[in-house]
Amino acid sequence: MSELIVKRNDKDWYKDLIIYQVYPMSFMDGNNDGIGDLRGIISKLPYLKELGINAIWLSPIYRSPFVDNGYDISDYRDIDPRFGTMDDFDEYVNECHKLGIYVIMDLVVNHTSDKHPWFVASSASRDNEFSDYYIWRDEPNNWAGAFGGSAWEYSEKRGQYYLHTFSKGQPDLNWKNERVQHEVLDMISWWCGKGVDGFRVDAISYLDKADFDYSPNPVDVSGYAFALDINSNRPGTHRLISMLRTQGFDKFNAMSVGEVCCYTPEDNYNYSSDSRKEFNMAIPFVPPVLEIETWSPLNMKKQIKESYEVLKEDGWWARFLSNHDKPRQVSLYGDDKNYRELSAKFLATITELLPGTPFIFQGEEIGMTNVYYDSIDDYNDIDMKNMYELERMKGKSDEDAFRFAQSISRDNARSPMQWNDSINGGFSLTRPWLNSNPNYKEINVEKEEKSSDSILSYYKELIALRRNSYTLRRGLFEFMDFDSPYLFSYKRYTKDDEYLILGNFSKDKVIAEYDINGYKPVLKNYNKNYSKKIASMEPYEVVVLERM
């Protein structure tokens, strides 16, 4: 066993990261205006250090009108005043580095905000310095934006339509224009110059667009087909990403993880193989509604196995179960009512000990759950609000449309971090921009810190285990009992070392048959003795055993 030191100059340094995602609006409010900010984050760095993570990915903190909570940027080189100042950011970088924590920023370059000066100029006339920075047409086609309605919006001033794959406040940049490419490369260098160590690259599989005459069969009631589907994963996009890698990230050995649309393991390979020189790894985007409808432990195992086979020689994985676009993992995959603690620990083990770089989304380490606000007005998410209207248009009752929208709402993950049982969960003294989940009285960091049995304590042990074992970080992987719909068990091994991670991914007690003679337990979520054999497993039981 040797304590992990990640060398920033190593080619594969990103493989040893344990990344914590901070959603800045909801992490910690430093000035009590109800919105999370950089000073708040800085004040909690010791907490994150103690957790054992070694990198933080910040969702966007750039200047933005906040149509899509910061994923609509109006100045790529400034900090939004609600989060603080550039001095606060510099201090944040310094403090992180002092603690051995790497700094990862969100890079949102498929689109800007419609308030970005490039777009303001571009929409003013057809012939100015920026007129070709976006995608303009005289007539729209039948493509739909990701948040509902046409993907085209008319600009009176220019007398043309612009394309927006997301909301109309997020016009798509024209990546065919080399000046746009250079702007982005310059911006990457600029942030790396400020000490940024890597990027999570937003919605990046749609840079190159299909032929505009292409109007495929409608997929929704209003006659639209999704621009997202039509423009995914085109060869031109892969070429652009590879350009960003070689002329951008690689100059600084910056880590990169692309958020991409992946239908197959081969799609994932194309983005994250080492030899193709695109990203270091990919976050495959699956719409929450699809995930909720189709997931099962067995499907999850199948996907993991397929992807392992395709990427094991020449690729790497971003390992996560939740983020700011998904329901809370303990609510979606676990049981947040009867087995919250056990299932949260079970799920944590999946993320940390499968091959790949683990991503922890804020609050997951204390088992935070989905929110259930009373009315649509209590919600903020633009995607959810559009979905609510769409479901009503399709004929659902208000109540049914609301329940549906509630289940997929991205606000489930965005409610404020629960630090203690004081007002607003200790996040802010002012009513937060999005209400705290009332369960903060029972579920909060302070309470978790007091118990050696808590989810948080389990996370700390789990992360330490990973940090201390080369085999768990880089070793080979193999499922055991692959066909079982309940058991979720696997091995991690090298020639000198072996771990068994044995688990029951269900609410029922199940029969199992494991010979564990010669292995010792190093982490478990039930207070049980393990020796020689395991004949059954309790709900969400998981145990990590090391060969003696």
Which amino acid appears at position 530 of this protein?
Y
Per CB under 5 A, the list member of 37, 336, 341, 383 interacting with Ca ion is 37
Give me the catalytic one of 16, 114, 197, 202.
202
Choose the contact partner of 166 out of ligand NOJ, Ca ion, none; CB within 5 to 8 A by kind.
Answer: ligand NOJ
Residues in CB range of 35: below 8 A, 6 or more apart: 25, 29, 82, 83, 428, 432, 433
Asked about 377 being catalytic, the answer comes back as no
Q: Are 269 and 290 in contact, with CB atoms under 8 Å apart?
A: no
CA 388 to CA 408: how far, in whole Å?
10
Closest approach of ligand NOJ to the CB of residue 166, in Å: 5
* Phi-psi group of 302: left, alpha or beta (phi > 0 → left; psi -120 to 50 → alpha; rest → beta): alpha
Q: Reply yes or no on whether 202 is catalytic.
A: yes
Q: Taking CB under 6 A as the rule, does residue 381 contact ligand NOJ?
A: no
Provide, rounded to whole angstroms, the least separation between the CB of residue 86 and ligand NOJ: 23
Q: Does residue 68 interact with ligand NOJ by CB under 6 A?
A: yes
Measure CA 290 to chain center: 16
Residue whose CB is nearest to ligand NOJ in the complex, by number: 71
CB of 362 to Ca ion, least distance (A): 16
Query: Which residues is 136 bridged to in the sheet?
Result: 162
Q: Which residue lies nearer to ligand NOJ by CB, 245 or 324?
A: 324
| Pair 223, 216: CB distance under 8 Å | no
Residue 321 binding: pick among Ca ion, ligand NOJ, none (C-beta 5-8 Å cut-off by kind):
none
Phi-psi region of 425 (alpha: psi -120 to 50; beta: other; left: phi over 0): left
List the structure tokens of 222: 């209003």
Among 28-36, 167-175, 282-290, 436-444, the segment contacting Ca ion (CB under 5 A):
28-36
Total residues at interface with ligand NOJ (CB under 6 A): 9
Are 246 and 275 in contact by the 8 Å Cβ rule? The answer is: no
- Out of 203, 261, 321, 408, which residue is the one contacting ligand NOJ (CB under 6 A)? 203
Q: Helix and strand tally (H, E) in the chain?
A: 18, 22
User: Alpha-carbon distance 264 to 473, whole Å?
Assistant: 24
**Whose Cβ is closer to Ca ion: residue 430's or residue 468's?**
430
Nearest one of 188, 216, 215, 213 to 200, comparing CA atoms: 188
Binding ligand NOJ by CB under 6 A: which of 202, 278, 365, 381?
Answer: 202
Asked whether position 35 contacts Ca ion by CB under 5 A, the answer is yes
DSSP string, 112-160: --TTSHHHHHHTT-SSSTTTTSB-EESS--SEE-TTSSBSEEEETTTTE
Token representation of residue 542: 């998981």
C-beta of 110 vs 525, nearer to ligand NOJ? 110
Q: How many residues interact with Ca ion (rule CB under 5 A)?
A: 5
User: Which residue's beta carbon is nearest to the bound Ca ion?
Assistant: 37
Residues 104-163 that bind ligand NOJ (CB under 6 A): 108
Q: Which stretch binds Ca ion (CB under 5 A): 30-38, 124-132, 337-345, 454-462?
A: 30-38
* Among the residue ranges 24-32, 286-294, 323-331, 400-408, the one whose residues contact Ca ion (CB under 5 A): 24-32
Interface residues toward Ca ion, by CB under 5 A: 29, 31, 33, 35, 37
Interface residues toward ligand NOJ, by CB under 6 A: 68, 71, 108, 166, 202-203, 259, 324-325
The residues annotated with a catalytic role in the active site are 202, 259
